[in-house]
Amino acid sequence: MTDVFTPSKRSQVMALIRAKDTKPELAVRRLVFNMGFRYRLNGGGLPGRPDLVFRCRRRVLFVHGCFWHRHMGGCRRATLPKSRLDYWLPKFAANKRRDRSVAAKLRARGWRVLVIWECELKDTDRVRGRIARFMSNT
């Protein structure tokens, strides 16, 4: 199956996808701030540039898009494109490898890591509970 867009239009569409300040990230930032936690953005100097960094607590939080980071377990947002699978499959595999590597590097440096998936934000009470447990000193 071929792409519905021309190569130049596809490039234009893909260029509009944001790397930071996404809607899911902004939602998590509002939630964390309203819980009373203060953070730094895009952890300069840390592997993987975590979305939220809590330096004094040695915790980092990533907000992953289900499509780009391949959220498995029945997530409807982790769909496969219909064309150019020879490009997309290795790209997705590399993204997952990088995510695992970054988390391992952070843990090796003594940081705790939490990933919030885009689809989880439908249930903010559940996400709030996960963050509260993650931020506790236990």
**Residue-wise pLDDT tens digits, 20-54:** 778 999 999 999 999 999 999 987 789 999 999 99
- Statement: residue 4 has pLDDT above 90: no
What is the CATH classification number for the domain harbouring 69? 3.40.960.10
Domain that holds residue 110: 19-135
Is 109 part of any domain? yes
Q: 106: part of which helix (H) or strand (E)? A: helix 85-108
| Mean pLDDT, all residues of the chain | 89
Report, as an integer, the average pLDDT of 49-70.
Answer: 93
Strands 52-54 and 40-41: antiparallel
pLDDT, position 108: 97
Is 37 part of any domain? yes
Is 9 part of any domain? no
Q: How confident is the model at residue 2 (pLDDT cuts 50, 70, 90)?
A: low
Is 96 part of any domain? yes
pLDDT, position 19: 66
Is 13 part of any domain? no
Domain count, the chain: 1
Is 95 part of any domain? yes
pLDDT, position 84: 85
In whole angstroms, give the CA distance from residue 97 to residue 102.
9
Q: Which two tokens stand for residue 3?
A: 């792409």
- In one-letter notation, the amino acid at residue 89 is L
Is 11 part of any domain? no
Is 10 part of any domain? no
- Statement: residue 138 has pLDDT above 70: no
- In sequence order, the β-bridge partners of residue 54 are 59
